[in-house]
């Protein structure tokens, strides 16, 4: 299949998995311009980065180790990884279907009214889901366990107060205050201050990813995958300014290797269409409602057998249930 045929096939796929959008379509040439920008970026990286053995994704393995001491169980966190990663210039641009879906999600954000936010308020978010841990049993074998990730959380919009987290009916205040926030621990004010130009926003995120996951680092993730994961984390923050949300979706469309999964199920059992990226035998999926293009949740699916399970295993899955701005920690919208 030549490039033109593949492009046509991807656009037909997008039209099948998504209904006609009730929002204005992007200006003529906008998506083509974004894809052309991405191609030029890939070419630039190919020229400026000599091929090198890359690294595999390191999952944060939580090993529960049985001990003979009276203290009982010990939990140890290990970062493990090996193998190689595909060099950036070998990864194809985001597919036409994924660019179209991300643009529709951005258009939805563009038409969302801006919420009035005041100092002292909190971002509320409720999620359900699970993550996976590896536990060592007495025989020395490893057992895969699921940890409940369902929670409610209240984060100060300006980072001046401690974050309240409610899990299993128990409330706890997380240590310290968020402060100004950062890409790994954002506040509403931090998100509102991010660039809303997709190219500038992706550069900001990629610069951080390159510093911590690029050439010369010990990271096994790589800057492209790390940028995709970072954007997904920011989108799942609960309440993000509409202009920032739109820019995040459009930035994701500039990352190589992004594709569409026609049917995916979130942690709440809701079916949707996903924007995804495959790395080291794992597919990270952002799941959207097919009718509204609203983000439902995120999950990671194994595409090949490994220590975390058989191909098809959903190792992590988190669904957004409710979110909003409230006046006090403990309140709900």
For residue 301, with 0-12 CB atoms within 10 Å meaning exposed, 13-18 middle and 19 or more buried, which class applies?
Answer: buried
Are 106 and 24 a contacting pair, CB within 8 Å? no
The answer to the question of residue 290 being in a domain is yes
The answer to the question of residue 119 being in a domain is yes
The answer to the question of residue 331 being in a domain is no
User: In this predicted structure, which of 12-16, 230-234, 269-273 has the lowest mean pLDDT?
Assistant: 12-16
- Rounded mean pLDDT, 261-285: 97
Select the more confidently predicted residue: 115 or 197: 197
The answer to the question of residue 333 being in a domain is no
Model pTM score: 0.76
**Tens of pLDDT along 172-187?**
999 999 999 999 999 9
C-alpha R_g of the chain: 21
The answer to the question of residue 196 being in a domain is yes
The answer to the question of residue 61 being in a domain is no
Cβ partners under 8 Å of residue 28, min gap 6: none
The answer to the question of residue 280 being in a domain is yes
Cα atoms found within 13 Å of the Cα of residue 253, Cβ hemisphere only: 28
The count of other CB atoms within 10 Å of the CB of residue 311 is 11
Domain interval for residue 270 = 3-51+89-131+147-326
Answer left, alpha or beta for residue 169, where phi above 0 means left and psi between -120 and 50 means alpha: left
| pLDDT for 217 | 59
Where b means 16+ CB within 10 Å and e means fewer, 174-204 reads eeebbeebebebbbbbbbbebbbebeebbbb
CA 169 from chain center: how many Å? 27
Q: How far apart are CA 286 and CA 299, in angstroms?
A: 7
Q: How far apart are CA 333 and CA 324, in angstroms?
A: 6
Asked whether residue 142 carries a pLDDT value surpassing 70, the answer given is: yes
The DSSP secondary structure of 14-31, one letter per residue, reads HHHHSPPPSSPPPPTTHH
Select the more confidently predicted residue: 86 or 129: 129
Residue 308 pLDDT grade (very low, low, confident, very high; cuts 50, 70, 90): confident
- Rounded mean pLDDT, 252-277: 97
**307 has which bridge partners?**
none
- Rounded mean pLDDT, 121-142: 86
Average of per-residue pLDDT values in the chain:
79
Q: What is the DSSP letter of 299?
A: E
What distances in angstroms separate CA 6 from CA 96, 105, 118, 173, 277, one per listed residue? Answer: 9, 23, 48, 51, 18
Residue with tokens 């942690």: 267
Q: What are phi and psi of 270, to 5 degrees?
A: -90, 130
The answer to the question of residue 251 being in a domain is yes
Is residue 204 within a helix (H) or strand (E), and if so which, with residue range?
A: helix 198-213
| pLDDT for 200 | 97
- Rounded mean pLDDT, 153-181: 95
Asked whether residue 219 carries a pLDDT value surpassing 90, the answer given is: no
What distances in angstroms separate CA 122 from CA 70, 116, 168, 185, 187, one per listed residue? Answer: 42, 12, 21, 15, 9
Total structural domains in the chain?
A: 1
Residue 157 pLDDT grade (very low, low, confident, very high; cuts 50, 70, 90): very high
Residue 222 pLDDT grade (very low, low, confident, very high; cuts 50, 70, 90): confident
Q: How far apart are CA 75 and CA 251, in angstroms?
A: 38
**Tens of pLDDT along 60-95?**
333 333 322 223 333 333 333 333 333 445 889 999
Select the more confidently predicted residue: 302 or 49: 302
């Amino acid at each position: 299949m030549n490039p033109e045929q593949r492009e046509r096939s991807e656009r037909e796929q997008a039209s099948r998995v998504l209904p006609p959008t009730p929002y204005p379509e992007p200006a003529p040439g906008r998506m083509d311009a974004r894809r052309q920008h991405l191609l030029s970026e890939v070419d630039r990286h190919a020229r400026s980065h000599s091929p090198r053995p890359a690294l595999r994704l390191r999952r944060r393995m939580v090993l529960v180790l049985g001990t003979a001491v009276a203290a009982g169980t010990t939990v140890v966190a290990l970062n493990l990884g090996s193998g190689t990663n595909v060099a950036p210039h070998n990864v194809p641009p985001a597919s036409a279907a994924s660019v179209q879906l991300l643009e529709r999600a951005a258009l939805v954000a563009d038409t969302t009214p801006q919420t009035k936010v005041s100092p002292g308020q909190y971002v509320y978010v409720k999620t359900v889901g699970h993550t996976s841990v590896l536990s060592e049993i007495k025989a020395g074998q490893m057992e895969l366990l699921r940890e409940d990730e369902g929670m409610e959380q209240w984060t100060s919009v300006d980072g001046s107060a401690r974050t309240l987290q409610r899990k299993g009916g128990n409330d706890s205040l997380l240590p310290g205050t968020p402060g100004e926030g950062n890409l790994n621990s954002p506040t509403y004010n931090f998100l509102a201050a991010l660039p809303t130009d997709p190219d500038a926003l992706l550069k900001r995120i990629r610069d951080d990813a390159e510093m911590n996951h690029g050439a010369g680092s010990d990271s096994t993730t790589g800057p492209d995958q790390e940028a995709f994961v970072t954007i997904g984390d920011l989108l799942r923050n609960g309440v993000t300014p509409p202009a920032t949300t739109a820019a995040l979706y459009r930035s994701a469309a500039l990352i190589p290797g992004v594709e569409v999964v026609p049917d995916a199920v979130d942690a709440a059992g809701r079916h949707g269409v996903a924007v995804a990226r495959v790395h080291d035998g794992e597919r990270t999926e952002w799941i959207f409602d097919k009718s509204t293009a609203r983000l439902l949740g995120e999950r990671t699916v194994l595409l090949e057998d490994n220590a975390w399970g058989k191909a098809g295993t959903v190792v992590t899955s988190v669904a957004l249930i409710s979110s909003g701005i409230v006046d006090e920690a403990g309140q709900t919208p």
